[in-house]
Amino acid sequence: MALIAILPGDGIGPEVTAEARRVLEAVGCGARFEEALVGGAAYLETGMPLPPDTLALAKRADAILFGAVGAPQYDTLERAFRPEAAILGLRKELGLFANLRPSKLFAGLEGASALRPEIARDIDLVIVRELTGDVYFGEKGRKLNDAGHRLGFDIMAYDEAEIARIARVGFETARTRSRRLVSVDKANVLESSQLWRDVVNEVSADYRDVALSHMYVDNAAMQLVRNPGQFDVVVTGNLFGDILSDQASMCAGSIGMLPSASLGEGSRGLYEPIHGSAPDIAGQGKANPCAAILSAAMLLRHSLDDVPNAERIEAAVARALASGVRTADLGGSCSTREMGDTVLRHLA
Ligand code: IPM
Ligand code: MG
């Protein structure tokens, strides 16, 4: 029997993962569940954002359903003790180097997008974000420079093997869709980006059936709001992917709608909404559970090889939204639980 680790985390994490778990139980995916503390919640209890027991559970599990971590009260802690260290540690420890972030506008949500409906309607893209390298994991620190000023630094670096393996995920993802891949970098300024571009071009020799193009990240940010319909699969580094995926989410209606999958070499993956812990609305039943529920669907598809149930869940979310039920982020007034109930009712 497959084991799903549930790591609810902080803020709205527990509320939204609870709804996702109910949906997983309702489709009868045959998995069992174990929960553990992570992030600020784990720090308060154990003094560590990613306690050894939680990491051990994640390593034992076939898949991890993650909520969100972080709250302002932890922002002054030493970096290793902040809630964010938990998600970064899980990605690194589990070798989850590929982050898939699909952005699609559900019918009926045209009005919720930050873009005009006729532009928003066309969004249906996947950002393939590299997740265990780049400026996130390079050397970082503080020192005094020659002028005696305090200097903070974070090294942005990629090696060719890291680039090649994420490029392959980009090309493979493009093969499952329209066979178009846009690689986003800043090769006009950054040396790590020039290597990125060179290696992506080299890997493309194995994917002659995929049309590859390159775009600078500033232009990509602009094109994403000008004409998001031009994108299908985008492959990019950790930092650029972090920023562009938040931007893509608002184009698609709400950050409360977007799921993600973090994958490595094997079938084990970590699934989380791309939104954060939203401490301002935590515990009030206002959060949109759709991103977490759609993350559960991605979990079934990528880690449990259960495509039928993944599609059932995605169709249920679409029907629930089409029925007009909306949480506050989408301009409605229903609660987290009511949204979860509506999705459950629409499971075919
Ligand atoms: C995300 C988040 C994380 C990131 C934070 C919480 C460390 O913003 O998953 O996009 O920057 O990767
Ligand atoms: Mg982010």
Q: What is the pLDDT of residues 222-263, one digit of tens each?
A: 999 999 999 999 999 999 999 999 899 888 888 899 999 999
For 190-214, what is each residue's pLDDT tens digit? 999 999 999 999 999 999 999 999 9
Mean predicted confidence (pLDDT) in 116-139: 95
User: Is residue 136 annotated as part of the catalytic site, yes or no?
Assistant: yes
pLDDT at 112: 85
**The domain boundary residue, chosen from 254, 276, 305:** 254
Same domain? For 138 and 229 the reply is yes
pLDDT over 90 (residue 348):
no
Mean predicted confidence (pLDDT) in 65-69: 98
Residue 44, both tokens: 């308060």
**The domain boundary residue, chosen from 195, 227, 254:** 254
Cα(300) to centroid(ligand 2), Å: 23
Q: b/e string for 44-75 if b means 16 or more Cβ within 10 A?
A: eeeebbbbeebbebbeebbbbbbbbbbbeebe
The answer to whether residue 259 is domain-embedded is no
Same domain? For 119 and 204 the reply is yes
CB-ligand 1 contact for 242 (6 Å cutoff): yes
Mean predicted confidence (pLDDT) in 69-83: 95
pLDDT at 23: 98
Range of the domain at 149: 106-254
Q: How far does CA 270 lie from the centroid of its chain?
A: 9
Of all protein residues, the one whose alpha carbon is nearest to atom 6 of ligand 1 is 84
**The domain boundary residue, chosen from 254, 288, 305:** 254
What domain count does the chain have?
A: 2
The answer to whether residue 315 is domain-embedded is yes
Q: What is the mean pLDDT of the chain?
A: 96
pLDDT at 289: 98
> Position of tokens 């902040």?
82
**Assessment of whether the complete model's pTM goes beyond 0.85:** yes
Cα(346) to centroid(ligand 1), Å: 31
**Distant-in-sequence, close-in-space partners of 241: CB < 8 Å, separation ≥ 6:** 99, 101, 127, 128, 129, 130, 131
Cα(82) to centroid(ligand 1), Å: 13
The answer to whether residue 277 is domain-embedded is yes
Q: How many CB atoms lie within 10 A of CB 175?
A: 14
Residue 185, both tokens: 């970098």
User: Is residue 209 annotated as part of the catalytic site, yes or no?
Assistant: no
Same domain? For 214 and 281 the reply is no
User: Is residue 10 annotated as part of the catalytic site, yes or no?
Assistant: no
pLDDT at 29: 85
Share of the chain above pLDDT 70, in %: 100
Mean predicted confidence (pLDDT) in 277-297: 97
Mean predicted confidence (pLDDT) in 15-29: 96
Of the ligands numbered here, which is closest to the C-alpha atom of 96? 1
| Amino acid in position 149 | H
**Residue in 242, 286, 306, 329 annotated catalytic:** 242
pLDDT at 250: 85
